[in-house]
Structure 1
Amino acid sequence: MTSLTVTAKGQITLRKDLLQHLGAHPGSKLEIDKLPGGGIKLTPVPAKGKISDFCGFLKREGQKPVSIEEMNDAIARGWAGLP
């Protein structure tokens, strides 16, 4: 069993092993339920959204799609210090 200390601001810090057990990482949300008898239950909130919602995120109006080959070429030129 792990003990936590409540700060003067009324906050607690969950230890790394507890966060890993919950599958939580920076930006994760946890749901807290009050249980009878003064206990609480922490449950990770599943991430919402789909990868398909992210696709096209950087596309601007009027911008043509760029192929993988064109991306690789631009990366190679940049790495070589070429315009």
Structure 2
Amino acid sequence: MSESSITVKGQTTLPKSVRRALDLMPGDRLRYVILDGGQVRIMRTRPVAGLRGMLWRKGQAPVTLEQMDEVVAQGANDRA
């Protein structure tokens, strides 16, 4: 288990093991989620641009916005 102290300004240094586990580099941004019981979850945020190509599959043709709209509308109709 890693620990660090808080400065008078409310700052802390993340231990190396935590930085390594989150694959953090200088300039990366963090998100803090406050959970019940006085616990906090720390997550590295990712810029939206980093999501580009995430769903790409070899041999799969790109889908247009119109095709996406049709599928969403069909799903809504199927539920009704």
TM range (shorter): 0.5 to 0.7
Which residue number in structure 1 is paired with residue 2 of structure 2? 2
1:3 and 1:18 map into 2 onto residues whose CA distance is: 10
Which blocks of at least 5 consecutive residues in structure 2 are unaligned? 51-80
1:33 and 1:23 map into 2 onto residues whose CA distance is: 18
TM-score relative to the length of structure 2: 0.55
TM-score relative to the length of structure 1: 0.53
Which blocks of at least 5 consecutive residues in structure 1 are unaligned? 51-83
State the secondary structure of the residue aligned to 2:12: coil
Structure 1 moving runs of 4+ over 4 Å:
none
Shift of residue 30, structure 1, vs aligned partner: 1.1
2:32 corresponds to 1:35: no
| Superposed CA RMSD | 1.8
Which residue number in structure 2 is paired with residue 59 of structure 1? none
Which residue number in structure 1 is paired with residue 24 of structure 2? 24
State the secondary structure of the residue aligned to 1:18: helix
1:23 and 1:47 map into 2 onto residues whose CA distance is: 15
Deviations 1:8-29 (A, max 9, x none): 1111110122111101101111
State the secondary structure of the residue aligned to 1:20: helix
> What is the identity, as a one-letter code, of the residue corresponding to 1:38?
G
Look at both structures and tell me which one has the larger radius of gyration over its CA atoms.
1
State the secondary structure of the residue aligned to 2:42: strand
1:22 and 1:12 map into 2 onto residues whose CA distance is: 16
